[in-house]
Structure 1
Amino acid sequence: MHILGTGSYAPERILTNHDLEAMVATSDTWIRERTGIRERRIAAEGEVTSDMAVAAALKALAMAETDAADLDAIIVATISPDMPMPACAAIVQAKLGAHKAFAFDLSAACAGSLYGMTIADQFIRTGSAKRILVIGAELLSRLVDWTDRNTCILFGDAAGALVLGPSPDPDRGLLSAHLHTDGTMVPSLCIPGGGSRHPQSAEVLEHSLHKIAMNGREVYKFAVRVLPEALNEAFAANGVVAGDIDHIVSHQANLRIVESVLDRVGIPMEKCWLNLDRYGNTSSASLPISLDEANRAGRLKPGDLVAMMAIGAGMAWGSALMRW
Structure 2
Amino acid sequence: MDPRNPDTFGLPTVSLVDVSSYLPGEPVGTEYFTQFSRSDRMAKNVMFRSPSGRHHVARDETAVDMAERAVAPLIDRHGSDFASNIDVLITHTQLPDNPVLGAGPEIARRLGARPSFVYDVHNGGCAAFVHMMSIARMVLQTTDARTALIVATQNCAGPVFTQSDIRKLAQAPVPGDGCGVGLLVKDDSAPILDIESRTYPEFAGDMDFSTNSDRKYWEPGEGQGCVSFTESKVTKVFARGNRLVPEVALAVCDRIGVKGRDIDTFVTNQPNRLFLRNWHDALELPAERHPDTFDTCGNLFAAGIPVTLDVTNRAGGLRNGSVVLLSAFAHAGDFAAAAAVRWGAANG
Q: What's the counterpart of residue 114 of structure 1?
A: 130
1:62 pairs with 2:102: no
1:9-33 Cα offsets, whole Å, 9 max, x none, are 0111322112210122279x96999
Q: What's the counterpart of residue 50 of structure 1?
A: 64
> Aligned AA for 1:133?
L
| Conserved 8 A contact 1:60-1:162 | no
Q: SS of the residue aligned with 2:55?
A: strand
Which of 195, 199, 206 pairs up with 1:188? 206
1:129 pairs with 2:148: no
| Conserved 8 A contact 2:51-2:297 | yes
Q: SS of the residue aligned with 2:339?
A: strand
> Aligned AA for 1:161?
V
Question: Once structures 1 and 2 are overlaid, which stretch shifts more, 298-307 or 144-153?
Answer: 144-153
Trace 1:264-279 onto structure 2 (pairs within 5 A).
264-279=282-297
> Aligned AA for 1:307?
L
User: CA 1:235/1:26 → structure 2, altered by over 3 Å: closer, same or farther?
Assistant: farther
Q: What's the counterpart of residue 34 of structure 2?
A: 21
Per the TM alignment, residue 159 of structure 1 is displaced from its structure 2 partner at its CA by: 0.2
User: CA 1:154/1:249 → structure 2, altered by over 3 Å: closer, same or farther?
Assistant: same
Q: Distance in 1 between matches of 2:236 and 2:168?
A: 17
> Aligned AA for 1:174?
I
For structure 1, the residue ranges without an aligned partner over 5 or more in a row are none
| Conserved 8 A contact 2:85-2:147 | yes
Using the aligned pairs only, state the percent identity.
Answer: 23
1:143 pairs with 2:163: no
Q: Distance in 2 between matches of 1:299 and 1:186?
A: 36
1:47-96 Cα offsets, whole Å, 9 max, x none, are 11111111111223433445112211111112212211221111111111
TM-score (norm 2): 0.83
Q: Distance in 1 between matches of 2:289 and 2:192?
A: 19
Which of 229, 239, 242 pairs up with 2:257? 239
Q: Distance in 2 between matches of 1:39 and 1:67?
A: 33
| Conserved 8 A contact 1:113-1:134 | yes
1:206 pairs with 2:222: yes
> Aligned AA for 2:263?
I
User: CA 1:256/1:32 → structure 2, altered by over 3 Å: closer, same or farther?
Assistant: closer
Q: Distance in 2 between matches of 1:46 and 1:34?
A: 28
